[in-house]
Chain A
Amino acid sequence: MSEAGVNLTRRQFGKTAGALVLAFTLAPRLAGAQAPKLPGSLANNRMLDAWLRINADGSAIIFTGKVELGQGISTALAQIAAEELDLPLAQVKMVSGDTAQTPDEGHTSGSQSIEYGGTAVRLACAEARSLLVGQAAKRLGVPADALKVSKAVITAPDGRKLGYGELAAELDLDREVTATAPPKSPAQHTIVGHSVPRRDIPAKVTGGAAYVQDLRLPRMLHGRVVRPPRYGARLDSVDEAPVRALPGVVAVVRDGSFLGVVAQREEQAIKARDSLTRSAKWSGGSEVPDPARLHEQLIALPIQSSVVSEKQAAVAPAVKTLEATYTRPYIAHASIGPSCAVAAFEDGRLTVWTHTQGVFPLRRDLAKALKLNTEAVRCVHAEGSGCYGHNGADDVALDAALLARAVGGRPVRLQWMRDDEFAWEPYGAAMLARAKASLDASGKIVDWAYEVWSNTHSTRPAAPDGNNNLLASWYVAEPSQPGPPMNIPQPAGGGDRNAVPLYSFPNQRVVNNLITAMPLRVSALRTLGGYTNVFAVESFMDELAAAAKQDPVAFRLAHLGDPRARAVIDTVAKKAGWRAGEKGDGTRGRGIGFAKYKTLATYVAVVAEVEIDRKSGRIRVPRAFAAADAGQIVNPDGLKNQIEGGMIQSTSWTLHEAVRFDRNGITSRDWSGYPILTMPEVPEVEVTLIDRPDEKSLGAGEASQGPMAAAIANAFANATGRRLRDLPLSPERVQAAFG
């Protein structure tokens, strides 16, 4: 959905908005080979009118493929646009994630929206402003550089004025972006770099229509689906007749082993689902691993190995070698609101309102699954509950479409039930990491070997041709197969994200093992492998520091050349009042964790405090400090909110979370089977931002998770002298550590 309306096509939009509409062209004119590479998301969306429009009233609409997920991106991109266009923020409207209106920027993921989407919006708006000024110069007969621009009004030295609105009709944005109009220098910024209230919050706290869940279309029906008891099970039979006779039931939809129901009212659909669940007979399906031997079984599965970093140098002899193994379980996205979509067919064309992270990739897999032309499918983003990666958002869109197809033209709203989300979402992969390193006599690390095992971290739409990554496509009568498991290459990495540390080690070998068989369904969870690798690398750094009898802060700095990395560590150590060599007292202690997210995004260092109740085995994290350097900051309070949120979510992952299953399938089906951090346990967090207005903005949305986990584990070791290497740091493991 967008601030500018949901039902209008781009072309209709122009007519109603009263501005001169030129042909809307997303495709570049030049052939790819001749075209120079453009920065950020401009690279694949080269036309200026794909990014913005100036309206007859002088206001602007910005079109972006990057969607609001509660991370505040819509506000931050509006800030960038308003800054470059010299428009008051209120006169910038955002339209995001609509296959009929916006550029294709792939997925909103990986903390990349400011870097890629923000760069595109900045350059496109700077260019539009320069075109407006050029047009005004012609009209007023004065040189462009003699004109002053403020709040959408261009003023000549003699006082004559032209508003953007007056120029809009003559403005030709139907052209390739040249990316040559210089954006403002940070010193000129009056909107970027300032904390601006998020635009989405007022509706969210007053019951305004803020989510796809809130969409109510005329004649809309309610759907529910019935999933198998375990992965891959086949539907042998189901007693449909009594369900069709239930009050309000409009259709029972069965397509192979896909089963769903549509009813007039939501509670009727839920009752019908219960009834179908009771009578459905399933067979077959795949076994999942024995949870007691999970990691052992995972690393015995087929793998694709690759060396992702290798360095060799002559060094002083090693005097001490350490080895350690770290693990993480499967972690659920566990969105508070189960996934939801609204789908409607009209004249063979499908419109889906969806909280997907990528409307264009989703459209491709939807079209394949429904045997439609891609052009016959429109996906419109509307916010959902926070997703933290690839949750059920895309799957529920196909479910809703399959149900809508059965009820001839009436829109169907489908929200998954709690157990649908917990049992069928693609989890963050279970992982194992082995680290081995040696110290020389001076306590420096002279060699470092690190190996990580993991399933893929992305099974998002769109799958390669012939495959489909949407859940229901594997169960319909003519099923598809999921796409092959892929790793995201370095430097960003997938399972090996942050596996190559930022520290300088003279000898280093890092190996990534992509496990290709997938016993539990997995995909992207915030940080991908980054959380586990930072937990492992930073835990191991502390173990090495202890072996070298050095303070963990000093030990890190001794291996770290990057001045920005050193600065976040120094800053957080000062803020926390870190004392070199400080030791815990058996139940309380503090620890540090550091990473540069993806080794190419935001720098974060965290100091966390823990308190341990030895009897119950419970770890509490009363307080944590963080310092973050995200380059040029667009919205300081928004950035803080992201860093804080990441720290608290990471505390929950680190202390509590693991998807539960037995040999028959997933047993985490509600919040009692998947406990998360509760309000009384939440740490006080204090975030210090290091603003670097002259450096490019770095992705920050996922940057604090890894350092927080490591800081907690290191604080536990600091407090107790014992090391926990398996996540979560549960009461059972704490008790076991004390034997």
Chain B
Amino acid sequence: MTISLKVNGSQRTVPAEADTPLLYVLRNDLALNGAKFGCGLAQCGACTVLLDGKATRSCITEIGTIGEAEITTIEGLGTVDKPHPLQQAFIDTQAAQCGYCINGMIMTAKELLDQNPHPAAAEVREALAQNLCRCGTHGRIIRAVLRAAENTGKT
């Protein structure tokens, strides 16, 4: 069967069953690399995307349940040439080692900054409590989110 999804502002039709987790459709049908497979259990956060602005684990979100909701992936935020302030702040802070978790960090931080444009460090930590990082880049990730908040305020 085919299912129609609204991804990064475009209507896309994919040849997948309704119970297919969104993650595989994004990666394999739509060639969007940002969301990563980490656990398939909604435990680690590497697969995070926004559904109508809400940070959502795409590894357990069946495409049949999405309907008209707007899906935003990290590719929908910005590009290497024109990065989103969050992406720019992660580059400026060099807030990655292996970087596998960073998609989830940025997408979860996006939801946070949309709701709370000037969070305290402790609020950033709490917002990212369910996103696992293994390289120990946490400190830089927190600083990058705070930096993005600062820069967004300026523009």
Q: Which of A's residues lie within 8 Å of B, judged by CB? A: 69-72, 197-198, 200-211, 213-214, 216, 222, 247, 265-267, 270, 334-338, 383-388, 415, 417-418, 637-638, 641-642, 644-652, 670-672, 676-680, 682-685
Query: In the complex, A682→B87 CA distance in Å?
Result: 22
Query: In the complex, A210→B140 CA distance in Å?
Result: 20
- B 109-140 binary contact with A (CB < 8 Å = 1; else 0): 00000000000001011101111111111111
- Supply 11 A–B pairs (Cβ within 8 Å), ascending by A: A71-B97, A205-B83, A208-B33, A265-B16, A386-B97, A637-B94, A642-B97, A648-B137, A650-B136, A670-B39, A682-B125
Query: In the complex, A682→B138 CA distance in Å?
Result: 7
Contact of A641 among B78, B91, B140, B142 (CB under 8 A): B140
Q: Name the A residues within 8 Å of B39 (CB-CB).
A: 418, 670-671
Contacting pair A198 B16 (CB below 8 A) = no
- B 77-114 binary contact with A (CB < 8 Å = 1; else 0): 11110010001001100101111111100100000000
Question: Chain B interface mostly helix, strand, loop or mixed?
Answer: loop
Q: Write the nearest CB–CB distance from B13 to chain A, whole angstroms.
A: 15
Contacting pair B75 A685 (CB below 8 A) = no
Q: Name the B residues within 8 Å of A387 (CB-CB).
A: 98
Contacting pair A337 B90 (CB below 8 A) = no
Contacting pair A204 B102 (CB below 8 A) = yes
Query: In the complex, A684→B140 CA distance in Å?
Result: 10
Contacting pair B128 A679 (CB below 8 A) = yes
Q: Write the nearest CB–CB distance from B148 to chain A, whole angstroms.
A: 11
Residue of A nearest to B34 (CB): A207
Q: Name the B residues within 8 Å of A210 (CB-CB).
A: 33, 99
Given contacts A267-B24, A418-B39, A649-B136, contact A205 B90 (CB under 8 A): yes
Query: In the complex, A202→B141 CA distance in Å?
Result: 15
Contact of A336 among B16, B38, B125 (CB under 8 A): B38
Q: Name the B residues within 8 Å of A197 (CB-CB).
A: 91, 94
Contacting pair A418 B129 (CB below 8 A) = no
B74 is an interface residue with CB less than 8 A from chain A: yes
Q: Write the nearest CB–CB distance from A667 to chain B, whole angstroms.
A: 15
Query: In the complex, A645→B124 CA distance in Å?
Result: 19
Query: In the complex, A647→B141 CA distance in Å?
Result: 15
Residue of A nearest to B83 (CB): A206
Q: Which of B's residues lie within 8 Å of A, judged by CB? A: 16-17, 20-21, 24, 27-28, 31-34, 36-41, 43-44, 46, 73-75, 77-80, 83, 87, 90-91, 94, 96-103, 106, 122, 124-126, 128-142
Q: Name the A residues within 8 Å of B17 (CB-CB).
A: 247, 267
Contacting pair B129 A679 (CB below 8 A) = yes
Contacting pair A265 B24 (CB below 8 A) = yes
Contact of B80 among A70, A206, A216, A682 (CB under 8 A): A206
Q: Name the B residues within 8 Å of A415 (CB-CB).
A: 37
Residue of B nearest to A416 (CB): B37
Query: In the complex, A247→B20 CA distance in Å?
Result: 13
Contact of B135 among A638, A649, A679, A684 (CB under 8 A): A649
Contacting pair A207 B46 (CB below 8 A) = no
Contact of B99 among A200, A266, A647, A683 (CB under 8 A): A200
Given contacts A207-B34, A388-B134, contact A267 B20 (CB under 8 A): yes
Contacting pair B98 A338 (CB below 8 A) = no
Contacting pair A202 B132 (CB below 8 A) = no
Contacting pair A676 B134 (CB below 8 A) = yes
Q: Name the A residues within 8 Å of B131 (CB-CB).
A: 679
Contacting pair A334 B134 (CB below 8 A) = yes
Q: Write the nearest CB–CB distance from A399 to chain B, whole angstroms.
A: 16
Q: Write the nearest CB–CB distance from A429 to chain B, whole angstroms.
A: 19
Contact of A386 among B21, B75, B135, B138 (CB under 8 A): B135
Contacting pair B91 A670 (CB below 8 A) = no
Q: Name the B residues within 8 Å of A335 (CB-CB).
A: 98, 100, 134
Contacting pair A205 B134 (CB below 8 A) = no
Residue of A nearest to B46 (CB): A336
Query: In the complex, A637→B41 CA distance in Å?
Result: 35
Contacting pair B79 A206 (CB below 8 A) = yes
Given contacts A671-B132, A680-B129, A684-B139, contact A386 B28 (CB under 8 A): no
Contact of B43 among A204, A270, A671 (CB under 8 A): A671
Q: Name the B residues within 8 Å of A677 (CB-CB).
A: 138
Query: In the complex, A222→B136 CA distance in Å?
Result: 31
Contacting pair A267 B80 (CB below 8 A) = no
Contacting pair A201 B33 (CB below 8 A) = no
Contacting pair B44 A385 (CB below 8 A) = no
Residue of B nearest to A333 (CB): B134
Query: In the complex, A338→B100 CA distance in Å?
Result: 10
Contacting pair A266 B46 (CB below 8 A) = no
Query: In the complex, A683→B142 CA distance in Å?
Result: 11
Query: In the complex, A418→B42 CA distance in Å?
Result: 11
Contacting pair A70 B98 (CB below 8 A) = yes
Q: Name the A residues within 8 Å of B78 (CB-CB).
A: 206
Contacting pair B135 A207 (CB below 8 A) = no
Given contacts A337-B100, A682-B138, contact A676 B132 (CB under 8 A): yes
Q: Name the B residues within 8 Å of A70 (CB-CB).
A: 96-100, 135
Contacting pair B94 A679 (CB below 8 A) = no
Given contacts A266-B28, A337-B36, contact A641 B44 (CB under 8 A): no
Query: In the complex, A672→B132 CA distance in Å?
Result: 12
Contacting pair B80 A202 (CB below 8 A) = yes
Contact of A649 among B34, B43, B122, B134 (CB under 8 A): B134
Residue of B nearest to A417 (CB): B40
Contacting pair A338 B91 (CB below 8 A) = no
Q: Name the B residues within 8 Å of A384 (CB-CB).
A: 98, 100
Contact of A678 among B34, B36, B129 (CB under 8 A): B129
Contacting pair B38 A201 (CB below 8 A) = no
Query: In the complex, A678→B122 CA distance in Å?
Result: 13
New contact pairs (10) apart from A337-B38, A648-B136, CB-CB < 8 Å = A198-B96, A205-B90, A206-B78, A210-B99, A385-B100, A386-B97, A415-B37, A648-B137, A678-B130, A679-B141
Given contacts A202-B80, A680-B126, contact A337 B91 (CB under 8 A): no
Q: Write the nearest CB–CB distance from A263 to chain B, whole angstroms.
A: 11
Contact of B100 among A211, A642, A683 (CB under 8 A): A211
Query: In the complex, A71→B16 CA distance in Å?
Result: 37
Contact of A206 among B87, B135, B137, B142 (CB under 8 A): B87
Q: Write the nearest CB–CB distance from B85 to chain A, whole angstroms.
A: 12
Contacting pair A267 B135 (CB below 8 A) = no
Contacting pair B41 A671 (CB below 8 A) = yes
Residue of B nearest to A202 (CB): B80
Contacting pair A644 B38 (CB below 8 A) = no
Given contacts A637-B94, A644-B139, contact A206 B75 (CB under 8 A): yes
Contacting pair A383 B40 (CB below 8 A) = no
Query: In the complex, A383→B100 CA distance in Å?
Result: 10
Q: Write the nearest CB–CB distance from A221 to chain B, whole angstroms.
A: 11
Q: Name the B residues within 8 Å of A637 (CB-CB).
A: 94
Query: In the complex, A678→B94 CA distance in Å?
Result: 20
Q: Name the B residues within 8 Å of A638 (CB-CB).
A: 94
5 interchain residue pairs of minimum CB distance: A70-B98, A648-B136, A207-B34, A386-B98, A204-B99
Q: Name the A residues within 8 Å of B77 (CB-CB).
A: 206
Query: In the complex, A385→B97 CA distance in Å?
Result: 9
Query: In the complex, A642→B135 CA distance in Å?
Result: 9
Query: In the complex, A214→B30 CA distance in Å?
Result: 12
